[in-house]
């Protein structure tokens, strides 16, 4: 059996959609699926976006919705297909090879009771030691440096990370925090409005930073939930050094709208120099070539510039209306998107996305 069309679940209106993109084969997918189904929460749907062959040997089609992506689809293409097929108010991405733990979604979903919260970051732990935290989402600097956020101690426990939760929820000045694309929770309407979906031009390794920038510009809040634990698998990568440089430079130029350019360029210069040093000796030249080509594509960032300006204007207009409810203040304005994505099913059941300006 080769799944091709979505198979509807009995629950037509789940609150949570768990999306598992699968690109590189069935083994990692089955590990993730097993962990999700063993710990599956109530009122959710599980969607697998397939760009690899999978014959469903365990006959899971009654519990899982399979959607078929083109065979040459990128990880971002799979992810966006899964998002567009989702019905839930909250979308949780969990990459193939990553694993769920008991109750991993419960507290994360509860966080969305606060209308100001648009994304929730779970803790990522190791397979060998489920108390050792290896990632708490990602951060992106104003110069365009995206990093996986790791605890200060290489042996940080969940309890130790929980004690420092205040600082985790207040990133250092000039940095934006967000969930990893491999494992994160997003409010569905803000996720689709801010992209829509994830930007393929930034590659799988940087698309989460690109989305976090849009949410930050819109005034949306991201929080860490230490009670949500996932077991880390292979993290998304951008590709070759050339592709890495290309994606990194695109990320920077897509983020400059509405901010003073000169300080950003100074910060960006240091990021490029650092990147050149860490890719020595053989990787620096192709990386710099990728960055140069991305810079020459400056005109292609017009839609993104207009989109971020629109989100920023919506945020400023909402901030000027102190008597408005938080739910109105934190909605996104999406006048212009830069990625083609089918209309998500959860928006078909609702009125069009409210505009904050």
More confident residue, 75 or 5: 75
Mapping DSSP onto H, E and C, the string for the chain reads CCCCCCCCCCCCCCCEEEEEEECCCHHHHHHHHHHHHHCCCCCEEEEEEECCCCCCCCCCCCCCEEEECCCCCCHHHHHHHHHHHCCCCEEEEECECEEECCCCCHHHHHHCCCCCEEEEEEEEECCCCCCEEEECCEEEECCCCEEECCCCCCCCEHHHHHHCHHHHCCCCCCEEEECECCEEEEEHHHHHHHCCCCCHHHHHHHHHHHHHHHHHHCCCEEEEEEEEEEECCCCCCCCCHHHHHHHHHHHHHCCCCCCCHHHHHHHHHHHHHHHHHHCCCCCHHHHHHHHHHHHHCHHHHHHHHHHHHHHHHHHHHHHCCCCCCHHHHCCCCCCCCCCCCCCCHHHHCCCCCCCCC
Answer whether residue 26 shows pLDDT above 60: yes
Question: Please, which pLDDT band fits residue 345 given cuts at 50, 70 and 90?
Answer: low
Answer whether residue 353 shows pLDDT above 60: no
Q: Which of 45-59, 160-174, 220-234 ranks highest by mean pLDDT?
A: 220-234
Q: What is the pLDDT of residues 166-222, one digit of tens each?
A: 888 988 888 999 999 999 999 999 887 776 789 999 999 999 999 999 999 999 999
**Over pLDDT 70: what percentage of the chain?**
85
Q: What are phi and psi of 144, to 5 degrees?
A: 95, 15
Q: Does domain 16-231 have CATH number 3.90.550.10?
A: yes
pLDDT of residue 62: 87
Half-sphere exposure of 11 (CA within 13 A, CB side): 16
Find, among 244, 297, 236, the residue nearest to 272 by Cα: 244
Q: What value does the mean pLDDT take over residues 101-105?
A: 98
pLDDT of residue 292: 97
Q: What value does the mean pLDDT take over residues 283-308?
A: 94
pLDDT of residue 356: 32
pLDDT of residue 334: 39
More confident residue, 314 or 154: 314
More confident residue, 258 or 133: 133
Question: Please, which pLDDT band fits residue 40 given cuts at 50, 70 and 90?
Answer: very high
Find, among 75, 83, 94, 114, the residue nearest to 29 by Cα: 94
Q: pTM score, two decimals?
A: 0.86
Average pLDDT of the chain to the nearest whole number: 86
pLDDT of residue 126: 95
Domain borders along the chain are 16-231, 241-301
Half-sphere exposure of 223 (CA within 13 A, CB side): 20
Answer whether residue 48 shows pLDDT above 80: yes
Question: Please, which pLDDT band fits residue 335 given cuts at 50, 70 and 90?
Answer: very low
CB 177 within 8 A of CB 139: yes
């Amino acid at each position: 059996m080769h799944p091709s069309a979505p198979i509807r679940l009995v629950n037509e209106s789940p609150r949570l959609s768990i999306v598992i993109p699968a690109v590189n084969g069935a083994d990692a997918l089955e590990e993730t699926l097993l962990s999700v189904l063993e710990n599956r929460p109530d009122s959710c749907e599980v969607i697998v976006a397939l760009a690899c062959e999978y014959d469903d040997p365990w006959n899971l089609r009654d519990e899982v919705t399979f959607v078929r992506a083109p065979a040459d689809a990128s990880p971002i293409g799979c992810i966006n297909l899964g998002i567009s097929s989702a019905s839930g108010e909250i979308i949780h991405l969990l990459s193939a090879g990553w694993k769920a733990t008991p109750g991993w979604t419960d507290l994360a979903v509860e966080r969305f009771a606060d209308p100001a919260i648009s994304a929730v970051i779970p803790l990522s732990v190791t397979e060998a030691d489920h108390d050792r935290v290896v990632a708490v989402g990602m951060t992106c600097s104003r110069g365009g440096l995206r990093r996986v956020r790791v605890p200060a101690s290489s042996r940080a426990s969940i309890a130790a990370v929980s004690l420092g939760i205040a600082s985790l929820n207040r990133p250092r000045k000039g940095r934006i925090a967000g969930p990893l694309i491999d494992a994160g929770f997003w409010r569905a309407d803000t996720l689709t409005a801010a992209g829509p979906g994830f930007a393929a031009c930034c590659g799988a390794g940087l698309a989460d930073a690109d989305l976090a920038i849009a949410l930050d510009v819109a005034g949306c809040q991201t929080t860490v939930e230490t009670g949500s634990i996932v077991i880390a698998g292979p993290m998304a990568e951008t590709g070759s050094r050339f592709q890495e440089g290309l994606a990194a430079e695109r990320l920077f130029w897509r983020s400059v709208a509405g901010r003073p350019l000169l300080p950003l360029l100074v910060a960006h210069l240091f990021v490029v120099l650092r990147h050149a040093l860490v890719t020595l000796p053989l990787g620096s030249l192709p990386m710099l070539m990728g960055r140069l080509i991305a810079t020459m594509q400056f005109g292609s960032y017009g839609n993104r510039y207009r989109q971020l300006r629109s989100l920023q204007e919506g945020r400023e207009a909402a901030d000027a209306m102190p008597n408005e409810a938080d739910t109105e203040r934190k909605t996104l304005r999406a006048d212009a998107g830069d990625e083609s994505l089918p209309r998500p099913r959860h928006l078909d059941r609702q009125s069009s996305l409210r505009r904050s300006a």
